[in-house]
Structures are given as C-alpha cells and as structure tokens.
C-alpha cells in the first residue's frame, strides 16, 4: 500500500506543514483524529472547499477520523479578508447557512463505522465564553506582535479601511477551536487552505502553551491555473457546490473546459482516480488532445462526486442530446434550461412563425433570404431534426420540457426560441 503522505504529495494536496516526518509516523501508526473548519459565509461551499473535503476523504479512507467543524460562531465574526471589512450577517441567516453547509459536507464523509466522521459546531463552546474568560483564559497566551504580523491583518492595517477588533479577534477563536477539539476528542491534526496557515499555527501554539503537547497542522495549496491566475470562476460567478446556485450542467461544463495545461494536475487534486489511470490520461493529453478525454473524465468524476451518479447521467444525456446524439424530449426542464442558458435566443409567435422566422429571431441568420438559403441547403434543424421546408410552422407541440425550441444552423451553431408571451 502506498504511503499516505507520499500519495497526498503526488496529488499536490500538501502545501505547508509542521514536522512531516512526525506526521507521517503518526498517520502510519494508527487512527489520527483530525479536523477541518468551514465558516458559513455563504449558503453554499465552493470548489475551494471541495479541496478540503477531498483531503478529508483521503484521510478517512486511510483509516483516520474526521471532525467536520462548521463555524456557527466564527461565521458570525468573519475571517479577515485581504481587503475590506466583512458585512456581519444576522444570526438567523448564519444559522441557516450552517445547516446548508452541514448537509453538503455530509455527502463526502462516512458518519458510521470505526472511524466515523463527526460534525461539530464551534458555537457550542464559543457561546459559553464570557469576555473575562476570553481575555484571561485565552488572550494571555497570544502576543500582539504575532497577531499583527498575520498577512491579512498586516495588509488591512496598512490599508485605508483598517481592521476592526471583531475581525482581528477571529484568530483567537479559531485557535481555541483546535484546543477544544484536542480536549474533547483527542484531535491532533488540523487541515485547511494555505491562506489559513497563520490561523492554524495559532491553534498549534495555543495547545503547546496550554497543554504542553505537540500537535500538527497541514495546508493544501490554493488552486491556480498554469499561468498563475486564480482558478475558479464560472460564467455566473463562483463555482458553487449547491445545484440551486450553479446548475449541475454548468458545473460539468466548467470542468469540461479546463485547459490542457491544467487538467492532469486537477485530476490529481479533485478526483480519486489512481495513479496508473491518471498517467494514462496524461498520455492522451499529449498524444490526442483533440479528444479531450482527460477533460471529459475530470468533468464526469467531479460532477458525480458533488452531485451524484444520477445527476451526472442527466447532464451527460443533455450534453449528448443538445448536439444531436439523444432525445431532447427526455431532458428535464431544469437541466435543459441550464444547458441552453448561454445560447443565443429569440422570441417568436408559436403557431405563426416559420423556421425561417426562427433562424432570424435567434440571430443565426441576419435576414430571411439568408435563412431560406440555409434551409434549402439542408443546414437548418428544429430540435435536431433537419428541416427542408422553409414554410414549416413552429407550434407549441414542438416545445421542449422548458417551453423552448432548439434551433441549429449547420453542425455547431445552436440557439433557442421562446414563445412571445
């Protein structure tokens, strides 16, 4: 069996760490209880959190026990951003986001068995802290010089907006989380994104000072593209894991469009495919990049991981049907709407407009003369069926599940038309 740390390093899932030889020995000696925290700053996790969930899953599969912490308390405060103060959300909003994140996290970990995962909320112990407790029992272990040197704090201090005491105190609360989890569950490893290194080390230092115990921390790298730019914006914004915020079809398309220069690295980070399979896919990128087999595999694996096998199949069927390889009538309304959301569109009067009118209304042709030529040459399609009669009337019976009609010019030019209301 491959060494766990070696495998995580090969996958690019380890960026910074404390004593790696010590951690390697502990992970190979028996079950280690570890934790990762997720703050409810939005109603959904995104692809950056997915890296953490995948790391947690790798550790659990290797026999270690995960504690998934949802920050009901720290979410009320907000981790300092590099620029700009966070807007404090109402308590009831944060509480709702906590439940949403718990539901998402629960899909990635096993909560039964010998190394069953446990969901914890830091509001449980933080809400019991009085101001005196915070200052006497925790504050005395923190040095101002260290706290002021944190990247986010230092940058905010030198900015025009500065930083509030509220956000400045965040690092104490996160450090206390590690101490509490060590005391309650014997947790000796904290993981997180590389931008959390300072906060993670703060917890490690607190445990050393209070309990005289050496624990470990480890970060994953922040995912960037090969050109060094930030990775993770879809057409609609962030790459959310919640299907109500980013449709599974759009999610799949995001991963499908990954560049050749990035795809192998992302296969290592975001999937559980083994080394031989990833190396095989790496060869296809070099030998036959036009097939995009690596991208298709990445998109399928990540979509299945986040949204499930059934949803993946609906997305694949929609993708196939959209380009003439399947039955458009079988696609459910939500998937169909997501699949056509970025296509050119127009409006026509169903029962009166012809295929020629539809081609012009959707912007596939500039005028009716050109549209008639397209029909005559066999290049016009209605719901992927070739249309040879320029006088064909589009009726309500042609409408697909979401009420639209798919129009195609040639092989690659797609659009939709909707009825005039």
How much is the average pLDDT of 304-323?
Answer: 92
Q: What is the pLDDT of residue 327?
A: 83
Cβ–Cβ < 8 Å for 181, 187:
yes
> Which residues define the annotated binding site for L-tyrosine?
35, 170, 174
- pLDDT score of 113 more than 80: yes
How many other C-beta atoms lie within 10 A of the C-beta of residue 281?
A: 20
Instruction: Using the predicted structure, report yes or no on whether residue 237 has a pLDDT greater than 80.
Output: no
Residue at token pair 């992302």 = 266
At 7 the three-state DSSP class reads: helix
Buried b (16+ CB within 10 A) or exposed e, 125-155: bbeebeeeeeeeebeebbeeeebeebebbee
Q: At what angle do helices 260-270 and 275-287 cross, to 10 degrees?
A: 170
pLDDT on residue 149: 86
Q: Which among 114, 346, 81, 278 is positioned nearest to 196, based on CA atoms?
A: 81
Q: How far is CA 57 from CA 93, 99, 252, in A?
A: 28, 20, 21
Q: So what's the pLDDT on residue 154?
A: 86
Task: Decide: 86 and 78 in contact? Cβ < 8 Å.
Answer: yes
Say which residue, 148 or 50, is predicted with more confidence. 50
Q: CA-to-CA distance for 358 and 416, rounded, in angstroms?
A: 9
Contact 189, 215 (CB under 8 A): yes
Mean of per-residue pLDDT scores for the chain: 92
Q: Torsions phi, psi of 303, nearest 5?
A: -65, -40
pLDDT digits (tens, 9 = 90+) for 392-416: 999 999 999 999 999 999 988 999 9
pLDDT digit string (tens) for 241-300? 999 999 999 999 999 999 999 999 999 999 999 999 999 999 999 999 999 999 999 999
Q: Residue 45 in contact with residue 38, Cβ under 8 Å? A: yes
pTM: 0.88
Sheet holding 33-38, edge to edge: 118-121, 65-70, 33-38, 189-193, 216-220
Cα–Cα distance between 154 and 148 in angstroms, integer?
6
Annotated binding site: 35, 170, 174, 233
The two most distant CA atoms of the chain are separated, in Å, by: 85
- Token pair in block for residue 23: 């951690």
Q: List binding-site positions for ATP.
A: 233
Quickly list H helices, 123-214: 123-126, 131-133, 144-148, 151-157, 165-168, 170-185, 197-211
With CA atoms as reference, report the closest residue to 166 among 38, 41, 39, 78.
Answer: 78
Cβ proximity of 340 and 346 under 8 Å:
no
């Amino acid at each position: 069996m491959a060494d766990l740390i070696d495998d995580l390093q090969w996958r690019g899932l380890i960026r910074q760490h404390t004593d790696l030889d010590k951690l390697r020995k502990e992970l190979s000696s028996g079950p280690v209880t570890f934790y990762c925290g997720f703050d409810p700053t939005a109603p959904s996790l995104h692809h950056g959190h997915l890296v953490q969930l995948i790391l947690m899953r790798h550790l659990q599969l290797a026999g270690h026990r995960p504690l998934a912490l949802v920050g009901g308390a720290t979410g009320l405060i907000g981790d300092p951003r590099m620029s700009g103060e966070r807007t404090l959300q109402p308590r009831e909003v944060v509480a709702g986001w906590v439940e949403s994140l718990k539901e998402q996290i629960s899909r990635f970990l096993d909560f039964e068995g010998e190394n069953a995962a446990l969901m914890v909320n830091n509001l449980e112990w933080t809400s019991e802290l009085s101001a005196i407790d915070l200052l006497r029992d925790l504050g005395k272990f923190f040095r101002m010089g260290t706290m002021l040197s944190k990247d986010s704090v230092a940058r905010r201090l030198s900015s025009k907006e500065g930083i509030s005491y509220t956000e400045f105190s965040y690092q104490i609360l996160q450090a206390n989380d590690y101490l509490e989890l060590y005391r309650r569950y014997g947790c000796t490893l904290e993981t997180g994104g590389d931008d959390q290194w300072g906060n993670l080390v703060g917890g490690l230092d607190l445990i050393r000072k209070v309990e005289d115990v050496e624990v470990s921390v480890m970060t994953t790298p922040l995912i960037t593209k090969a050109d060094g730019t930030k990775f993770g914006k879809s057409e609609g914004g962030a790459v959310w894991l919640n299907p109500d915020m980013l449709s599974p079809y759009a999610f799949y398309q995001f991963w499908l469009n990954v560049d050749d220069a990035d795809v192998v690295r992302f296969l290592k980070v975001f999937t559980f495919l083994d080394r031989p399979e990833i190396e095989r896919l790496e060869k296809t990128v070099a030998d036959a990049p036009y097939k995009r087999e690596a991208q298709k595999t990445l998109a399928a694996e990540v979509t299945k991981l986040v949204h499930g096998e059934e949803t993946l199949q609906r997305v694949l069927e929609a993708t196939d049907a959209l380009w003439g390889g399947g039955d458009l009538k079988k696609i459910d309304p939500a998937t169909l709407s997501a699949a056509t959301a970025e296509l050119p569109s127009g409006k026509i009067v169903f029962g009166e407009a012809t295929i020629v009118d539809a081609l012009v209304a959707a912007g596939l042709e500039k005028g009716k003369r050109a549209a008639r030529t397209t029909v005559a040459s066999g290049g016009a399609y209605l719901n992927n069926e070739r249309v040879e009669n320029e006088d064909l009337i589009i009726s309500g019976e042609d409408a697909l599940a979401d009420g639209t009609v798919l129009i195609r010019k040639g092989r690659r030019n797609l659009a939709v038309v909707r009825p005039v209301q």
